[in-house]
Structure 1
Amino acid sequence: MQPSYQIDILRGRCQEIPEVRSKVVRVFISSTFSGRAYYTLSERDSLIDNVFPKLKDYCREKYGLEFQYSDMRWGIENESADNHSEVATCLNEIKLCQKYSVATNFVVLLSHRYGSRPTPATIHASLFERLQEIVVSDLNLIEDAKLLSQWYQLDTNCIPAAYILRSISSMLPNIKSTELDERKNAAKEWTKINNRIRTCLRQAAAKCFEQGQINANDYDDFFISVTEKEIVNGILSVPNANQRTLCFLREIDGIYDHLSDSKASRFIDLYYSDDGKPIIDNEAEQLLNRLKCTRIPNALQSNNIYSYKVHWTENGINRHDHIEYISKFNDDFYDAIKQQIDNCVKSRIMIVSDPLQHEILEHAIQCKTYVAKFHGRIDVLGKLENYIKNEKENRPCIVYGASGCGKTSVLAKAATEALNWWSDRSVSVILRFLGTTPTSSTVYKTMLSISQHICKLYNLSMEIYPDVLQLRYQLETNLLMCIPASEYLVIVLDSIDQLEPDAYDCQWLIGTFPHNVKCIVSAIPDHGNILMHLKGIIKHNQLLSNDTEHLLIIVPSFEASTVDIVYNDWLVMKKRSLSDEQRSFIRDLMKERSEILPLYMKLVFDIILTWHSYDSINIELKKLRNVDDCIRYLFHHLEKVHNCLLFTRAMIYMTACRNGISQNELEDVLSLDDEVLE
């Protein structure tokens, strides 16, 4: 007997399935670093050389999964440092690992260094104003109060509103100077300013906390390191930490006796007196001990925490002097990850042995994604509902419109609503987004998959013929006719234009279905004469258009007024807003368009989602007249955020691969590019 969730997926009920169907194990490796120098570099390099390749092989060979690791040494460009987005970038990557990884998603490597404790880039408005009030009231902090006002700006586009730390270059333009001396001087100036801002915020936060005006989490945000913030998000605040996370602790015996060694500061938090004497940062050490001795053990079981003791050498911790430790660490890391992969895979519905289940699940998850962002189209859905409920109509319904007009979203919504439209009946929905999976990329594989799906639903048997027309004949004369009269079936095929050109004649599509079966298809009208062939299937006659008018449903572009409504809903979902000036600009931008495609809307929305309320509007945005313009604009933005060379090379390699490239393959290719690694 099949589990209930498998039956639901077979019947097209995708409400309870995950948001993504992932086939990766993606692990975020957290450890303290400054710039590009990691203090667990020997361990990380050994993992890359010896452990990750073995895990890749294990995942691929045993489960058909890809193993990936997230290394934040790549892709955090100076732009991120300038606008203080490094922390947000790391935390967002942790979320992605948690979302997509089917097993372990977070591993932390800790030793004696607590790490960087940056000034918060974003502070909730109510909290900032409370802190600012304390600073302003202290006559000894007048200059600090001025710095807070100068460097933090209120952003009402955040919901709730927040104060945002200005980019360094907006206040100190020379930080981006081509002259080295100017850059150095600007960097020194920023260091002084940053230290003063951070100190006064911490003092104010401590006072607020003592008075009970803020909670411990708000207080911690001003004191804890980037690494601890990663651990909070990766381990301490997740419900399944013991199934998906690991901690490796390294204690260095003798390091406190060798603080003057040239490499000691790489492995422990130090600052130096005026005469150059190294001094332990006691505050950082206390926070680190709290993390290692209290916070992590309270969240993780003991078998998720691995501890090691190594001896200090004048060369620090390295793979030459600590061979035995590195070997033990590698073995433990591999075994621990492997065990979590085994345990998680066994408990997930994502990993199923039946290829048909894989295929159905893939399309069900895509459907859920499209429906989550669906808005409007009431008139189109109304026509589809009328078609479904029309018991006298047994021909397929054809949905058509320009590329990017939203046909796929309409069909996804129709596939879910069909269960409600026939709420008084036992209904199943077979949905295929053609061209999105290997099985749905050719008409033969699609027809075979649909036939097998029907057999699975209604416990039927079939022959596997080598010809698509034979499959169609079997489907039309046998399988569909064997569906019980009390059962109703809706078949939804999106984007016929994504099939191979030989399928454009649509001779594989059944022209007349049984009374309890409905079929909805979609296509681009001017692509390969598909619409003309589809009209032939339903016997469309221009002189008798009333006979087929209800079967030909066009999806029009959006109107400017509709865009405003959709954007409002999307902004609420993202907890964002726009200023009146920005809203007016977007309205005018949309009114200038003769045709507003949903894809264009989505790309413009991705752009405005990054706007602060205080940002001046870039008039270059008026040049975004179509989808291609938006994509170029977003590409330019990604170049700045993720390093122009890295982004450009990644795009080149993806474009050069005719049949696509996996993330692991892309990482391997990039790792062989010497210019990227410089």
Structure 2
Amino acid sequence: MAERPAADVGDVNLQDVLRGRTDGDQRTTNMIRVFISSTFTDMSGERKALLEKAYPEVFAFCRSLGLVFEVVDLRWGIRNVTSGDHEDCEIFLQEIRSCQRISAGPNFIALLGNRYGPRTLPRLIPEKQFEALLSKLSKNPEGVKQLRQWFLKDNNAVPPTYVLQPITAHFPHYSDLRPETGPQRDKDLLSWRVTETQLLQLLRSAAADAKTAGDITAEQEQEFFTSVTEQEFEQGLWKDNSESSALLFVREIPRQRMRDGPRRFAKFMDLTADGLLDAEAQGLLTSLKSRLYTSSQKILNLHCVELSKGSIDPKRKEHAQYLDSVCEQFVTQMKARIGAVAGPSVDGRRGRSIDEGTMETSDWVVEEAGRHTAMSTKLSRGLYGREGLLGKICCAMWESTNVHHSPLVVHGAAGMGKTALLCKLAQEMRGVLEAGAVVVIRLLSARHPQRPDIDHVLRSICFQICLACGLAPPSPLTANSHLDLLRFFRNVLDKISQQGNTLLVILDALDQLSDQHRAHKLCWLLTSVPPNVHLVVSMDTHSEAFASMRLKSETLGNFFEVERLSCDEGKLIVESNLRASQRALTPEQSDAVLRHFETTGCPLHLKLMMSAARRWTSFTPLADLHLGANTQEMMSQFFLMLEKKHGKQLVGGALGYIALAREGLLEAELRDVMSLDDDVIREVYEFCLPPTPSLIRLPPLLWARLRRDLEDQLEERWTGGVATIAFNNRHLCEAVSAQYLTSERRGRSLRILAEYFLGRWSGKLKPASLPGLSLLLSDRKVPPQPLWFAPGLANIRKLQELTYHLLHAGLWEELQQEVIGCAEWLYCKSRVCGLSSVIHDLDQCSQYMDCTETRLVRDTLVLMKPSLDFLDGHMDTSLFYSELLARLCSLAKPFPAVIGRLCSQCEEWLLTCLEPILVPKCSFLQQPGGALQHTLTALQGGVLCQDVSLEAELLVAGSDDGVVAVWSLADQQLIHSLLGHTGPVLSVKVHDSSAHCLSLAADGSLRRWSLTNGQQLLCIQEAVPLDSTPSSVHLHLSARSQLLFVYTSAQVKVWKLDGSELLSSSSTDEGSVVLGVLEDSVFSLSGSGLVRISRPVGGTQTVEAQLENSATRLTLVNSVMLPKREKVFVVSKEGFLHQVRVRTPPTGLDLQKLKNIYSSTALKYDL
């Protein structure tokens, strides 16, 4: 293996990622996510104009650069109504931080008019600060009583905190939107306004006194006066010098006419609870603007606009010009900011594939390694206990360091914490291994519901090891050949071992691999790991992978079971978890958790309970704890909590769409598809109409609130610089499917997803039926979904998701038009995702659709695959269309619906191609449906021999590079790659039982292999002369006599069938050649035409018979043995074909009977 320079040692980040020694996720982002900050009503006209005119243009611009553009406007679609739980301010600030973390460019857009914005009560006040405030109100006992009524002390917070109670705790109808409760709700709304004002006045006056007395700081005092808007500005503009990633739009009203009273400007100015102008708020607004004008000049866009009848009216010319100006400035400045960020890497994204074969090696390797390392680091923080099991595994690794050893197998039932255990093992080993050691970890269930292919897993591991250790990575041909990849993987482990470096490879959840190459049989997994290399794998005890592992292993000493946790271990986990989250539980609450945990001992069950327990306050009644007796019940309780808080349709829709997505969903995509879901929209607008009935979407704040409660259950999945959201636990995904995705709802949700990725409702009006309104047509503002965003920039999300949703939604016609019968789709997905991905899609289609044309297209791509794999993703468009047309042309007329359309598209593209190109006029390449059904491409060397077992549907072949491959004829999958020979494989034989096969090679060795687990069972050296040729040596198995024959033209060797003992070794007389073996009899021929039949084992005499019409001298050309017909055909150079036939073999053999049981005939032929 050739050496190459290791990555620059000075590049600490890269080397840390490749060696598995980083705690962070080393990723780049191709996302532009901006938060829109404004008050609820003041800038609604500007926000609507931006939504309709500016956002689509910036969205298209970002797509043309290979970027994703998302807008987070949490105030769109809802009125100025504070949520009853007081969490909105925290949600807004959390979303700003999320945008700052994710966005590659601008992330904050500030829109400020003449409202300072609501100054809400703080939800949390630290104990010491609250007690200091109460001390200043000693002369106002009613005020103290009111504060203590609304703020309750939570001793579960560390340190203790006073928590503002939900509004509905005292005003139960505050959030009740039902028409029949209207009067009660109005009363509660008014009561809350008065109460909120009183509470704010009490806190502000107390804060002022406390600040004067030095009990609190000026910053702490200001928190009771600052509006949510200014807090957003502080986070998005000024904190951490964020101005460079922000834009600021300020609107001034130059001539305010107040003759009609302040209520005329209620939407645009701050009013007190009794409807008067809030002078204090206006003063604070003036101070805020002064700060903006002083410190944010570079990003300021100032406009002066006079209101018309107290509003911005787009129908008025001056107002329309103002809105157009805002949109134009927004688009121009956003494009400039985004272009400056994206410019250096735009060309690199053009034509880039999400398949690792065509990406820069270091890019996808670092992304893959960093992602799994970061996930493992995060998961290891949640593991407490298991020290005994970890110690046993570490001890086993230590003892096997200097010797060849078996992989270590960690197994257990679902939810028992196998993944967390292996993540903790990786973390611990990073701390004790030397600096040059490499730790490779792959969490194979991390992309559920997708299952990774074993080739992808091995490929990424090989590249990571090679880049980390300075070894030459696999060539494209090697990386795309399963057999060569297996050999490379084993060789690279041997190379690391020989160098004396330490390597730890951890593969979690082998049972989650796809069935490609029968990966669950574990034929690819090493049974002997070299010194200094450690391989640790995990699997479910009840999986096929575990059963295969037991068959491969000779001892159970390398198996470690992850069992139920004890109650003491559970208590330790609870305490550690609470300590890490700065929370506590009351003794009664802690007892409730541990009592439920004791019945299962399941870490996943405990994790779900702790997720709920961290939300409990010390004053939460025991009756409201709602714990489940097991994991499933706990998930059901969680779903009920979400439905009660957010609505059943909203929760079921959001969770269902996340569960159905193949690669997760962008948050913008999730908001889009829920906006297309009429059931969700009807629930959202059940008691109030949308602000603009002609434009209906899901208010983003509703998803943000739900997202906050799902924080422990969701994860970001980064691929190609884009973050999608998905469930962080496949068991939760399965529970969502069972709870919400009934047959009817699943079909409807799949149809909505399919229509979304088709772009069906982009720019079109979709019917909507809302309570109180007749059927109306509304724009849902979803983006178009072209196949290509720009030349060389494919719509990867569409390629990933569309086929699955069309198929499972039963949209057969659209599936045939947009996928199966679309040449551009087939080319685009083959280029971007790999041809195997397209074939897999068509295989799935064939399972659900009885369509001959689909199978023919699929078979065509299978025939094309070897040549396209050779190109390693560098596929020319003309080559793809030419080969597709050359294989399908003759089938266009018999199958016009799909194949005819495909051929027309290919021909049209080729005829309009600007470059000179040959256009196929007939099917001159092998077409599907013919004799050629499949091309097996695993063997890189030339095939020298093969044998077939019809009973087991296996094909065994040997190549000139010493590899023996075993395929399943049922699905054309490679199931074993038998490595051991160092010379060309000359002959292979499958034992009748199909449990074993034998191989004979030019290195002189004879080897017996298990077809169950791929292990070598026997090796006999010097079975044949070195450097023999395929035609000169032969293998024969005698099942009846349990004998194994190896013969050349001059020598015959016989062993017991198991190879344990050599029974005979004999050579022919001079001038004689061995014809072959029938059962346990050896046939030889002399130059005079004399056939000799002998039994090397169990026989004492030789029988001779003369060939009929044999010439004086007979020169053998070839002989053919027909064991089932008990015949031997002999071809001579003199022009004769002789048949030697066994008439009726007796049960016993002796000389006299043998003389009469053979006959021969001769047929003259022309040479």
Contact 1:650 1:670 in 2 (8 A): yes
Q: Cα offset for 1:258?
A: 6.8
Note the alpha carbon deviations across 1:457-488, whole angstroms, 9 max, x for none.
33314243444233212322467436651322
Q: Cα offset for 1:511?
A: 1.9
Q: Cα offset for 1:400?
A: 1.1
Alignment partner, residue 167 of structure 1: 166
Q: Cα offset for 1:211?
A: 2.9
Q: How far apart, in 2, do the equivalents of 1:665 and 1:648 lie?
A: 16
Alignment partner, residue 142 of structure 2: 143
> Residue 561 of structure 2: which of 538, 554, 564 is its match?
554
> Residue 51 of structure 1: which of 54, 66, 81 is its match?
54
Alignment partner, residue 432 of structure 2: 421
User: Are 1:503 and 2:498 counterparts?
Assistant: no
Contact 1:77 1:643 in 2 (8 A): no
Q: How far apart, in 1, do the equivalents of 2:528 and 2:254 lie?
A: 80
Alignment partner, residue 489 of structure 1: 503
* Cα distance change of structure 1 residues 113 and 615 upon mapping to structure 2, 3 Å threshold: same
Note the alpha carbon deviations across 1:325-363, whole angstroms, 9 max, x for none.
323322333344445545666999xx9952222222221
Note the alpha carbon deviations across 1:176-198, whole angstroms, 9 max, x for none.
66522222222222222222222
Q: Give me the CA root mean square deviation.
A: 3.1
Alignment partner, residue 603 of structure 2: 598
Contact 2:451 2:514 in 1 (8 A): no
Identity of aligned residues (%): 26
> Residue 383 of structure 2: which of 346, 354, 374 is its match?
374
Q: How far apart, in 2, do the equivalents of 1:63 and 1:364 lie?
A: 27
Q: How far apart, in 1, do the equivalents of 2:567 and 2:303 lie?
A: 62
Q: Cα offset for 1:287?
A: 1.0
Output the TM-score relative to the length of structure 1. Answer: 0.87
Note the alpha carbon deviations across 1:92-130, whole angstroms, 9 max, x for none.
333333444444333321111011112222222222222
Alignment partner, residue 247 of structure 2: 246
> Residue 565 of structure 1: which of 572, 583, 604 is its match?
572
Contact 1:76 1:86 in 2 (8 A): no
Contact 1:432 1:440 in 2 (8 A): no
User: Are 1:328 and 2:325 counterparts?
Assistant: yes
Report SS of the residue matched to 2:305.
strand
Alignment partner, residue 280 of structure 2: 283
Q: How far apart, in 1, do the equivalents of 2:259 and 2:457 lie?
A: 68
Contact 2:496 2:503 in 1 (8 A): no
Contact 1:243 1:344 in 2 (8 A): no
Q: How far apart, in 2, do the equivalents of 1:347 and 1:370 lie?
A: 35
Note the alpha carbon deviations across 1:427-455, whole angstroms, 9 max, x for none.
11222111435997111211222222233
> Which residue identity does 2:545 align to in structure 1?
I
Larger helix proportion, structure 1 or 2? 1
Note the alpha carbon deviations across 1:537-563, whole angstroms, 9 max, x for none.
3x23xxxx4xx41x2112223222222
Alignment partner, residue 358 of structure 1: 367
Q: How far apart, in 2, do the equivalents of 1:568 and 1:339 lie?
A: 51
Q: Cα offset for 1:262?
A: 6.6
Q: How many residues align?
A: 647
Q: How far apart, in 2, do the equivalents of 1:21 and 1:640 lie?
A: 38
Contact 2:111 2:250 in 1 (8 A): yes
User: Are 1:628 and 2:632 counterparts?
Assistant: yes
Note the alpha carbon deviations across 1:293-313, whole angstroms, 9 max, x for none.
22x467x65323332223332
Which is bigger in relative contact order (C-alpha 8 A, separation at least 6)? Answer: 1
* Cα distance change of structure 1 residues 4 and 664 upon mapping to structure 2, 3 Å threshold: same
> Which residue identity does 2:521 align to in structure 1?
D
Report SS of the residue matched to 2:83.
helix
Contact 1:403 1:524 in 2 (8 A): yes
Answer with 170-179 or 518-527: which moved more: 170-179
> Residue 186 of structure 1: which of 181, 185, 188 is its match?
188
Structure 1 unaligned spans of 5+: none
Q: Cα offset for 1:611?
A: 0.8
Alignment partner, residue 850 of structure 2: none
Note the alpha carbon deviations across 1:516-535, whole angstroms, 9 max, x for none.
322111111112x2112123
> Residue 418 of structure 2: which of 378, 398, 407 is its match?
407
Contact 1:76 1:641 in 2 (8 A): no
> Which residue identity does 2:640 align to in structure 1?
H
Q: Cα offset for 1:230?
A: 2.3
Report SS of the residue matched to 1:255.
coil
> Residue 115 of structure 1: which of 114, 117, 121 is its match?
117
Contact 2:262 2:277 in 1 (8 A): no
1:222-241 maps to which residues of 2 (within 5 A)?
Answer: 222-236=224-238, 238-241=239-242
Q: How far apart, in 2, do the equivalents of 1:190 and 1:261 lie?
A: 22
* Cα distance change of structure 1 residues 658 and 367 upon mapping to structure 2, 3 Å threshold: closer
Alignment partner, residue 532 of structure 1: 547
Report SS of the residue matched to 1:519.
strand
Report SS of the residue matched to 1:233.
helix
* Cα distance change of structure 1 residues 561 and 66 upon mapping to structure 2, 3 Å threshold: farther
Q: Cα offset for 1:609?
A: 0.8
Contact 1:77 1:642 in 2 (8 A): no
Report SS of the residue matched to 1:522.
strand
Q: Cα offset for 1:388?
A: 2.9
> Which residue identity does 1:388 align to in structure 2?
M
* Cα distance change of structure 1 residues 512 and 53 upon mapping to structure 2, 3 Å threshold: farther
Contact 1:246 1:305 in 2 (8 A): yes
User: Are 1:581 and 2:582 counterparts?
Assistant: no
Contact 1:248 1:305 in 2 (8 A): yes
Structure 2 unaligned spans of 5+: 1-6, 350-358, 686-1167
User: Are 1:647 and 2:651 counterparts?
Assistant: yes
Contact 1:39 1:113 in 2 (8 A): yes
Q: How far apart, in 2, do the equivalents of 1:619 and 1:40 lie?
A: 41
Q: How far apart, in 2, do the equivalents of 1:188 and 1:330 lie?
A: 38
Q: How far apart, in 1, do the equivalents of 2:587 and 2:396 lie?
A: 42
User: Are 1:308 and 2:307 counterparts?
Assistant: no
Contact 2:25 2:371 in 1 (8 A): no
Contact 1:442 1:499 in 2 (8 A): yes
Alignment partner, residue 618 of structure 1: 623
Contact 2:34 2:107 in 1 (8 A): yes
Output the TM-score relative to the length of structure 2. Answer: 0.52
Report SS of the residue matched to 1:384.
helix
Contact 1:469 1:508 in 2 (8 A): no
Q: How far apart, in 2, do the equivalents of 1:229 and 1:640 lie?
A: 30
* Cα distance change of structure 1 residues 603 and 422 upon mapping to structure 2, 3 Å threshold: same
> Residue 474 of structure 2: which of 443, 452, 462 is its match?
462
Q: Cα offset for 1:134?
A: 2.1
Report SS of the residue matched to 2:459.
helix
Larger Rg: 2
Q: How far apart, in 2, do the equivalents of 1:642 and 1:288 lie?
A: 34
Q: How far apart, in 1, do the equivalents of 2:407 and 2:190 lie?
A: 70
Contact 2:411 2:541 in 1 (8 A): yes
> Which residue identity does 1:486 align to in structure 2?
G
1:254-269 maps to which residues of 2 (within 5 A)?
Answer: 254-256=255-257, 260=261, 263-269=264-270
Larger strand proportion, structure 1 or 2? 2
Report SS of the residue matched to 2:235.
helix
Note the alpha carbon deviations across 1:568-621, whole angstroms, 9 max, x for none.
222222221122222232232323x1x322221111111111111111113662
Alignment partner, residue 131 of structure 2: 129
* Cα distance change of structure 1 residues 658 and 489 upon mapping to structure 2, 3 Å threshold: closer
Contact 2:453 2:513 in 1 (8 A): yes
> Which residue identity does 2:87 align to in structure 1?
S
Contact 2:385 2:572 in 1 (8 A): no
* Cα distance change of structure 1 residues 77 and 476 upon mapping to structure 2, 3 Å threshold: farther
